[in-house]
């Protein structure tokens, strides 16, 4: 991981469709070099995947879920990630919590998700924060 790698990553983060030739021009090298490096970065899983950032609905939110201490987080997380509105499920340190990042049509839908989460026995409580503004680094 040198500076050239970092430059390439930063360009791809902004627009993953930028052609190798254009990246090469921008960073001052050849298409093949950019290609090799992107392939290497992908193999090393520094680039986890090429993906799209979507906003299918109008409301994004963070739902923090407090779970019972003796519960299998992993199974719970697996269940949450199946929900269509859920973009990410994070198991986090701190207070035995799981955090959902969701993308909903409206606040009603956020509320539905919270209700569905609370219906599960393993879930002791939830705390929701609407994401009002997102900046991408």
Partner DNA sequence: AAGCATAGTTACGAAATTCGTAATCCTCAA
Partner DNA sequence: TTGAGGATTACGAATTTCGTAACTATGCTT
Contacting residues toward DNA, per CB under 7 A: 4, 19-22, 29-33, 35-37, 40
Rounded Cα distance between 137 and 71, Å, is: 35
Applying CB under 8 A, the residues found at the interface with a copy of itself are 1, 6, 9, 12-17, 45-56, 62, 73-74, 77-78, 80-94, 97, 99, 127-137
With CB cut-offs between 5 and 8 Å by kind, which of DNA, a copy of itself, none does residue 4 bind?
DNA
Q: Judge whether 86 and 101 are in contact, CB under 8 Å.
A: yes
For residue 2, what is the DSSP state?
A: -
Minimum CB distance to a copy of itself, residue 28 (Å):
21
Rounded Cα distance between 48 and 43, Å, is: 9
Q: Which of 62, 64, 52, 63 is nearest to 132 (CA)?
A: 62
With CB cut-offs between 5 and 8 Å by kind, which of DNA, a copy of itself, none does residue 54 bind?
a copy of itself
Minimum CB distance to DNA, residue 28 (Å):
8
């Amino acid at each position: 991981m040198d500076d050239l790698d970092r430059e390439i990553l930063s360009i791809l983060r902004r627009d993953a469709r930028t052609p190798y030739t254009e990246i090469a021009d921008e960073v001052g090298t050849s298409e093949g070099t950019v290609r090799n490096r992107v392939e290497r970065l992908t193999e090393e899983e520094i680039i986890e995947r090429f993906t799209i950032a979507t906003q299918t609905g109008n409301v994004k939110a963070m739902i923090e879920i407090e779970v019972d201490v003796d519960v299998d987080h992993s199974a719970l997380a697996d269940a949450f990630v199946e929900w269509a509105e859920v973009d990410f499920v994070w198991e986090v340190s701190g207070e035995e919590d799981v955090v959902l990042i969701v993308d909903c049509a409206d606040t009603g839908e956020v509320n539905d998700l919270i209700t569905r989460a609370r219906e599960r026995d393993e879930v002791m409580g939830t705390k929701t924060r609407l994401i009002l503004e997102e900046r991408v680094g």
